[in-house]
Amino acid sequence: MPQSQISRHPIAARTTSIPWWVRVVVILGALLLAIGAAIALFNPVMLVSPHDEINSAVHIYAGYLAARNAALAIMLVALLFLGARQALSNMMVLTALIQLLDACIDIAEARWPLIPGVLLYAVLFLIGAAHLSGYPFWKIKSWISTP
pLDDT, tens only, 89-147? 999 999 999 999 999 999 999 999 999 999 999 999 999 999 998 877 677 776 676 66
**Inter-axis angle of helices 115-133 and 85-108, to 10 degrees?**
160
pLDDT at 35: 97
User: In this predicted model, what pLDDT tens digit does every residue of 72-95 receive, in sequence order?
Assistant: 999 999 999 999 999 999 999 999
The rounded distance, in Å, linking the Cα atoms of 30 and 50 is 27
For residue 105, is it within any domain?
yes
For residue 21, is it within any domain?
yes
124 burial via Cβ count (<10 Å: 0-12, 13-18, 19+): buried
Domain that holds residue 9: 3-142
For residue 93, is it within any domain?
yes
pLDDT at 10: 52
- For the full predicted model, state whether its pTM sits above 0.85: no
pLDDT at 21: 97
For residue 147, is it within any domain?
no
Nearest one of 79, 87, 80, 92 to 126, comparing CA atoms: 92
Query: What is the number of structural domains in the chain?
Result: 1
